[in-house]
Structure 1
């Protein structure tokens, strides 16, 4: 069972967006015509390009092969079964301990509701 990886496409898109946003920021900063701002914008632009290149090189170094489920044949894959149905039992057939626990829960719920109504 092969599953293609979309990671290269996603990373390429993110790198492109990062470079475009940094380019826009550098262009806006360059419009101020201040030499110090131009130097900072140039350094930021160069850092953006270097970061994009490093990310792309790391991405290319990672294996691009689709992964396979090791050791499982198509016949050995788990089969999904329909959900189990719960059949209702008459209350006379329920265990006494279960009925006592349900009644105790109902009593606690009613007490909590009464307490809430008194405080509001």
Structure 2
């Protein structure tokens, strides 16, 4: 595998972990996956900071074990620079579709990959 393939694969693995209800319910696991400077612009248009996301994530869609789950598709990524990956994909959750974009970064050799930025844009049903 190439370095780009390895780094994109690590970012995809992190993205998929953040969709797992068990991870979403655990602040310690989410802290491992979100960069302390994390910002999100959600599908509603609301801007979320790291602290705000930690506080509300357990109550958001996709967090309950028996509730609706994110169904990702067409996830692709590109290595923008060493330690910086851009992912794009679509999700459906509870009948709502969105196009998504995330930036994942790793600060230093041996550091964990963390989501630095995320944006969701609602899109019409096909």
Query: What TM bracket, shorter-length normalisation?
Result: under 0.3
Query: Which has more radius of gyration?
Result: 1
The structure, 1 or 2, with the larger RCO (C-alpha pairs under 8 Å, 6+ apart) is 1
TM-score (norm 1): 0.22
TM-score (norm 2): 0.21
